[in-house]
Amino acid sequence: MQNTFDVAGRRRSPATFPECLAGRAPENKGRRYPADPPRVEEIMAVMREAGQGPPGIRLRALIVVLWRAGLRISGALALAEGDLELRRWLELRAGLPVGPLLCVLRGPTAGEPWSAPSVRTQFRRLAVRAGVRRRFAPHQLRHAHAVEMARQGVSLNVIQRQLGHANLGITSVYLEGIDAGEIIETVHGRRAPLVPAVTALGG
Residue 85: pLDDT band with limits 50, 70, 90: confident
Report phi then psi at 162, rounded to 5: -60, -40
In whole angstroms, give the CA distance from residue 65 to residue 129: 22
Q: Report all structural domains of the chain as residue ranges with CATH numbers, in order of start.
A: 34-177 (1.10.443.10)
What sign results for the dihedral spanned by CA atoms 105, 91, 137, 131?
positive
Q: Which of 10-19, 26-35, 106-115, 158-167 has the highest mean pLDDT?
A: 106-115
pLDDT digits over 140-180, tens only? 999 898 888 888 888 888 888 888 888 888 888 778 766 55
Average pLDDT over the chain, rounded to an integer? 79
In whole angstroms, give the CA distance from residue 93 to residue 84: 12
CB atoms within 10 A of CB 149: 19
Rounded to two decimals, the pTM is: 0.70
Q: In this structure, are residues 134 and 36 in contact, taking their beta carbons and an 8 Å threshold?
A: yes
Crossing angle between the packed helical segments 40-49 and 54-69, to the nearest 10 degrees: 160
